[in-house]
Amino acid sequence: MTDNESTVKTTQTSLEMLSTIRELGGARTNEIVEAHDVAKSTAHKHLTTLERAGYLRKVGERYYIGYKFLNLGEYAREQWPWFSAVKEAVEELAERTEEECDFVVDDHGRVITVVESYHKWAKYGSDDGTKRYRANIGTYYPMHATGSGLAILASYPRDRVEAIVDDRGLPALTAQTITSRAELFEELDRIDERGYAVGDRYYTEGLRSVAKVVTGADGTALGAFSVSGPTYRIDGSVLDREIPRALADVVDSLESELADAPRA
């Protein structure tokens, strides 16, 4: 059975319309008609069905993503088997490093933040117009441009990495972003040797992150922790020793806890 044969076309169309509305920051019916090359009556049926179910909300003539997704997203996060343990680990890491910390998982070739913690003293950003970074729950990030994404990629067989790159590409976000396969695989080899990843201004100018993958009892990657901050703070012994040591301690503790947890 092919992918096309195993999907429901009507459902796929509705999902694509939701993506369009998100990308546009809200859309009118005629914008959906143009984007998806469908009849106005067809677009209206999809949009009305989604609105009545709570997946869209209508303000005037524009449709926006509905609050139902907030409800489902929080449910999905809390139903994740390791949520409580990971949440405690992220908070511990933030207190220990005094930087912004998060935990991400791979979702179809991108990492998504499922837990975050902002230390009260941690601040990153500038007034020079460069993009501010702050890990937000539910936000997707390209794997090749983040320390945590690279940490996860380094744990994968190389053919799986190749498949992700085929699907997602290696778009440049800054002048330092990894944009070639050769460079990516060299970086993954360094991560294997070092035991942790460093995202050095790959996602945002002036931002450096240090990350380490968490593996389950079966040896597969569950996700990755990262510690992020401005390059002037994440440098020297902080970069080379303090944060890697904190990550190693937190990961070792969590992996031990997960290994001792009763099997479902």
Question: For residue 136, what pLDDT band results from cuts at 50, 70 and 90?
Answer: confident
In the block, residue with structure tokens 């209206």: 44
What pTM value is reported for the model? 0.79
Q: Residue 246 is encoded by which pair of tokens?
A: 């904190």
**How high is the pLDDT of residue 80?**
75
Cα-based angle 213, 206, 158 (whole degrees, multiple of 5) = 35
Structure tokens at 264: 């479902």
The answer to whether the beta carbons of residues 22 and 65 sit under 8 Å apart is: yes
Span 154-192, pLDDT tens digits: 999 999 999 999 999 999 999 999 999 999 999 999 999
Q: Which residues, in sequence order, are bridge partners of residue 200? A: 208
- pLDDT at residue number 2: 43
CB under 8 A, 24+ apart: contacts of 240-246: 242/97, 243/97, 243/99, 243/210, 244/195, 244/196, 244/210, 244/212, 246/93, 246/96, 246/97
Q: Whole-angstrom Cα distance, residue 233 to residue 178? A: 23
Domains and CATH numbers, the chain: 9-66 (1.10.10.10), 73-260 (3.30.450.40)
Classified as helix, coil or strand, 65 is strand
Q: How confident is the model at residue 138 (pLDDT cuts 50, 70, 90)?
A: confident
210's CB contacts (< 8 A; 6+ apart) are: 147, 196, 197, 198, 199, 226, 227, 234, 239, 243, 244, 247
Nearest CA to 239 out of 201, 213, 204 is that of 201
Q: Is the dihedral of CA 96, 97, 101, 106 positive or negative?
A: negative
For residue 101, give the H/E element and its range: strand 100-107
pLDDT digits (tens, 9 = 90+) for 86-118: 999 999 999 999 999 999 999 999 999 999 886
Whether the Cβ atoms of residue 242 and residue 201 lie closer than 8 Å to each other:
no
Task: Compute the average pLDDT of residues 213-234.
Answer: 92
H helix intervals, the chain? 9-24, 29-36, 40-52, 68-79, 83-97, 147-155, 158-168, 181-194, 236-237, 243-260
List residues bridging with 226 in a β-sheet: 102, 211
DSSP designation for 143 = G
